[in-house]
Amino acid sequence: MPEAELQARSLPTGSVKERSAAWAERVEAASNTKPLSELYRGDHWTQSRRLTAAAEKVGFEAELWVASAGLGLRSVSAAAPAYAATFSTRHADSVTTSTADNAQWWGHLQEGTGRKTLEELGRRGPVLMVLSEVYANAMKAEIHALASVGGEVLLVGGVEEIPGIQRVASNAGLRRTLGGTLTSLNVRMAASWLGHCEDGRLTSTATSDSWQQWASGVAEPERYNRKPMSDEDVMAFIKREKASHPGISRSRLLRVLRDGNQACEQSRFANLYVRAMGKR
């Protein structure tokens, strides 16, 4: 659990610039740090770490970088303290409350001394980005700057088509074949794409055609056969997960429950959440 001052919810009110500056000071002042490769947990991160090996297997010299709402763009070898900060809205540790403010926050973080940008990475070689819609929106200006470099760039996920960048939109129909949760689907898709880079190119026509042919052959519509839960079981789940992850939002809790093949209608879950948390 991060210290209270390294949870975004503890930031004072103020402009995005003021809040991001206060946050940066807290992160820089923290003494208990560790490499990012040891800091993160969960299926998404486990799969992300495997991307490096997948890239090297097909001949790329790979480096793994993290796009973080708390740190900006950092190499996994960089050190940082445990923290809680996200661009996801309606979360206790959301850094802002809107897409536009998220973009401002990212810009302020990236203004820090010595920070690498996507554009700089693009000048060094091919870039493979795996981003959710929320993070792609926050990083939009930097992604467009990367597109102007003219190198090989692949975006898995994201939110829109950008000239100069090849995009593979998230496809839930691949989850049955690739396995894992929805939160790690984009990373698994990226690893699968790398397996089709037989010509040493990230975005060649041959690679794209090979992957698209594979994906169209295995994609299946999501079929849900979730098990119903009693009110007591749902509330027990909520209390257990909130105890383990205090900052988790109600909407995220429902996604976790459904990813576990359990069923609960949204409005019912909202009412049970209120009861479980003792709110009126």
Give the CA distances from residue 129 to residues 42, 139, 249, 265, in Å, rounded to whole numbers and listed in that order: 19, 11, 26, 34
8 Å CB contact between 94 and 130: no
Closest among 215, 111, 218, 105 to 169, alpha carbons compared: 215
204-248 pLDDT per residue, tens: 999 999 999 999 999 987 665 678 899 999 999 999 988 877 778
Spell 129-151 as b/e; 16+ CB within 10 A means b. bbbbebbbbbbbebbeebbebeb
Q: How confident is the model at residue 267 (pLDDT cuts 50, 70, 90)?
A: confident
8 Å CB contact between 105 and 88: no
8 Å CB contact between 253 and 218: no
The pLDDT of residue 280 is 43
CA torsion, ordered 228, 91, 104, 182, to nearest 10 deg: -30
Longest Cα–Cα distance of the chain, Å, equals 61
Closest among 168, 161, 131 to 147, alpha carbons compared: 161
8 Å CB contact between 27 and 169: no
Helix axes 205-218, 185-194, angle to 10 degrees: 130
Global pTM reads 0.79
Q: Where are the domains of the chain?
A: 4-218, 227-276
Instruction: Report, as an integer, the average pLDDT of 17-35.
Output: 95
State whether residue 40 is helix, strand or coil: coil
Phi-psi region of 40 (alpha: psi -120 to 50; beta: other; left: phi over 0): beta
167-198 pLDDT per residue, tens: 999 998 998 899 988 889 999 999 999 999 98
pLDDT above 50: residue 276: yes
Positions of E strands within the chain: 33-35, 65-68, 72-75, 79-81, 127-131, 153-157, 166-168, 227-228, 262-263
Backbone angles phi, psi at 237, to 5 degrees: -60, -45
8 Å CB contact between 81 and 27: yes
Closest among 183, 187, 16, 26 to 106, alpha carbons compared: 16
Distance of CA 49 to the CA centre of its chain: 13
Residues whose CB falls within 8 Å of the CB of residue 140, separated by 6 or more in sequence, listed in order: 103
Question: How many residues can be counted in the chain?
Answer: 280
The pLDDT of residue 266 is 86
Percent of the chain with pLDDT over 70: 97
